[in-house]
Structure 1
Amino acid sequence: MSQQGKKPHRPEHCRALTPTGWDRARGRVGSQVEALFAITHAHALAKTGQIPQALSGVERAHAALATGADDDVPFWALVWGPHAATVHSRSAKVFETLGDQSSSARSYATAAASRSGTTYARTTALDLVAQAEQQAKQGSIEQACTTWGWAIDTMAGVRSTRTLKAVRSLRSDLRRYRARGVRYRRRAR
């Protein structure tokens, strides 16, 4: 509920939900699932401006992820795909919220690389688009263009509102670099 609650931009409600989920899950689920609860909590903390606690939450999530590699995972915890990819993607969102574009870009890249094959093409493409946006904000335009290219390639055959929105955002972001010869319009179409 907390992850979905961030979509209408009401982080104060998300912040109220995550400690309850975290407290109820801790010690009752495997480390992989605890990592999901911990990173959701960290994201809510970041959204409400609690920076040191958010960063501690990211560390806690990554520690849980590292210790639970062989855990059995219930089906409901796989809704966002592989745990490592989800934790890295959510970590990227924490860093993005905190304005750490470099860490955010690295985490999005790790998330995208943690998903295999075409099974998670939409989610992988969205992580790549977010990575490219963070790279562009850092001024790494060539790197961002390469990442956007991978995102477009990954989106081939994917039909979703979020990927359509991502392509529109990509086209808008690239407009200001048109003078430098950046041409992704045809590929984006």
Structure 2
Amino acid sequence: MIGDSDIDTVRAMLRAFTSIDERQGGRHGRSAVVQYLRSDVADIVHGRFAKESLRADALTAAASVSFLAGWKAYDAGEHGLAQRYYLQTLALTREAGNPLHTAWVLRIMAHNGMDIQCPEHTLDLADAALSLATGRAAPGMLSVFVVCRARALANARRGPEAVAEIRRAQDLATRGEDEVMPYWTALHGPPRASVGSHAAKTFRTLRDHRNAERQYAIAGRGYSSHDTGLHRITALSLASQGGEQAAQGHLEQACGTWGQALGYFEGVYSDRAVKQIASIRRQLAVFDRRGVGAAAELDERARSWQLTYA
């Protein structure tokens, strides 16, 4: 017989695993998360429940752990495996009768498609997620669905609509700053930081480097101030911000931002981090030939990171 204490334990383990993932990356501790999902979490889902609401809570908690397993696979560069976990998560949220959680998973599937340069169905996914969230999500949470749609619109070459959706998402995020989020979303940082991150990616798709830089800066500040210490996403935001500065010809400024990113990347085992550091080093080689003084020292730090974590 499964009770509240069993479900609370899964939530506590989820918080612990997510904190480790955000600090040390998706390649660290993957087997522990998968084993926990296959053993303890599976046993709880297949248990007996005194009332239907407990079963729904158990399924929601199981979906959250499955989501984390997918997220870790994605961060480790195993995108097919990540998709399978997301589909499993989707089925669990539907079985739990939690349409807002279902929307959350559809949203991440849309972002995943855009991240791996397979955007063909991402606007449909973003639209479906936003449709489910509308009327159910408070303003702060709704903002992350709206900015997802903005990014999908940019990939569909509908720039003016994308910019309008960014503005709507920013307004919603501001209105929802003091909002209490469901536990399965609160673990991943404040909505305003997420809106900044995806607005930046939208502007980058539109080749608006100035606005992309500004939004990455907002994201970096939001993630770094989160009380659980979101090192990986802070580092990724700063690395991307430096890339946008470099695209505008602000080479010294880019080196300074990348130096901050490298500090946050310490201890992070992540395929995304590996790719960002490789990209930084390629750009630093050009900077060094142009006589940018900070480039050589920064490149040595990046090379040292690769030797340790790549």
Q: TM exceeds 0.5?
A: yes
Most deviating of 132-141 and 177-186: 177-186
Structure-to-structure mapping, 1:9-48, within 5 angstroms: 9-48=117-156
**TM-superposed deviation, 1:162:** 1.4
Higher helix share: 2
Structure-to-structure mapping, 1:80-95, within 5 angstroms: 80-95=188-203
What is the root-mean-square deviation in Å for CA atoms of aligned residues?
A: 1.4
Partner Cα separation in structure 2 for residue 111 and residue 51 of structure 1: 21
- Normalized against structure 1, the TM-score is what? 0.94
2:178 to 63, 70, 74: 70
The answer to whether the 8 A contact 1:46-1:94 is kept is yes
Matched, 1:163 2:163: no
Partner Cα separation in structure 1 for residue 197 and residue 215 of structure 2: 6
Question: What secondary structure is seen at the aligned counterpart in 2 of 1:84?
Answer: helix
Residue 233 of structure 2: aligned partner: 123
Q: 1:137-187 CA distances to partner (integer Å, 9 max, x unpaired)?
A: 100001101101111111122222211221111111110111313211221
Partner Cα separation in structure 2 for residue 153 and residue 89 of structure 1: 19
Large movers: runs of 4+ above 6 Å: none
Question: What secondary structure is seen at the aligned counterpart in 2 of 1:107?
Answer: helix
Structure-to-structure mapping, 1:172-183, within 5 angstroms: 172-179=282-289, 180=291, 181=293, 182-183=295-296
Question: Based on CA coordinates, which of the two structures has the bigger radius of gyration?
Answer: 2
The answer to whether the 8 A contact 1:30-1:72 is kept is no
**TM-superposed deviation, 1:75:** 2.0
Question: What secondary structure is seen at the aligned counterpart in 2 of 1:110?
Answer: helix
Q: What amino acid maps onto 1:26 in structure 2?
A: T
Residue 132 of structure 1: aligned partner: 242
Partner Cα separation in structure 2 for residue 68 and residue 186 of structure 1: 43
Q: Mind listing any 5+ residue stretches in structure 1 that lack a counterpart? A: none
1:187 to 301, 304, 307: 301
Q: Mind listing any 5+ residue stretches in structure 2 that lack a counterpart? A: 1-108, 305-310
- Normalized against structure 2, the TM-score is what? 0.59
Question: What secondary structure is seen at the aligned counterpart in 1 of 2:192?
Answer: helix
Q: What amino acid maps onto 1:45 in structure 2?
A: L
The answer to whether the 8 A contact 1:85-1:110 is kept is yes
Aligned residues: 189
Q: 1:9-64 CA distances to partner (integer Å, 9 max, x unpaired)?
A: 22230011111211221121111110010000100000110111101110110011
Question: What secondary structure is seen at the aligned counterpart in 2 of 1:17?
Answer: helix
Residue 79 of structure 2: aligned partner: none
**TM-superposed deviation, 1:81:** 2.1
**TM-superposed deviation, 1:97:** 0.5
